[in-house]
Amino acid sequence: MVSAQLVASVHALPATAFAGRAFRHQPARYDPLSGRGARSLGGRWNPPGNFSVLYLGLDEATVSREFRRHAARQGRALSDFLPRTLYGYDVEAANLVDLRDSGAASAVGLEGAAFGADDLRPCQRVGEAAQHAGREGILAPSAAGSGPVLALFLDSVKPGSSIAPHALGTWDVPGDVEG
């Protein structure tokens, strides 16, 4: 259960808008706007079984580094996960929490190491608080160490915001995965 104090701390942060291109890779058989996998399994910004999140990188290199980190953490080769479809998303969202600034991160109890830590619970609590505060998602440093990520809370996207995916290509072999 998310604490009212953390929800208030998140709510006190200014809303940040994002309009631009973001990226994601996934198996071709999945809907690029689903978020069901993150809802059931959880992720950095959502506990398992809670709410749907679309995890995006703001550049292709960040998406590649996140993919490599994911495979390494599972002790598996990149080829075990291929092929994958790379998508570009045209995103417009006006009510995000921006944790790329250390002051904002500290205000919600996160320090720099939390963004890449194996213990996801501190970030999940902040994500849950942001979702309870009515935010559309979180901008944050990548867990892979460099580059920004955008976690969009699909159940919280407001009228006037938009997410439009476009398939950009397929990663068939490990050499296709840059970064």
The string of pLDDT tens digits covering residues 115-142 is 999 999 999 999 999 999 999 999 999 9
Phi, psi at 173, each rounded to 5°: -130, 155
Amino acid identity of 126?
A: V
pLDDT tier at 179 (50, 70, 90 boundaries)? low
Q: Give per-residue pLDDT as tens, 80-108.
A: 999 999 999 999 999 999 999 999 999 99
Q: Give per-residue pLDDT as tens, 156-168.
A: 999 999 999 999 9
Tell me what the pLDDT averaged over the chain comes to.
93
pLDDT tier at 178 (50, 70, 90 boundaries)? confident
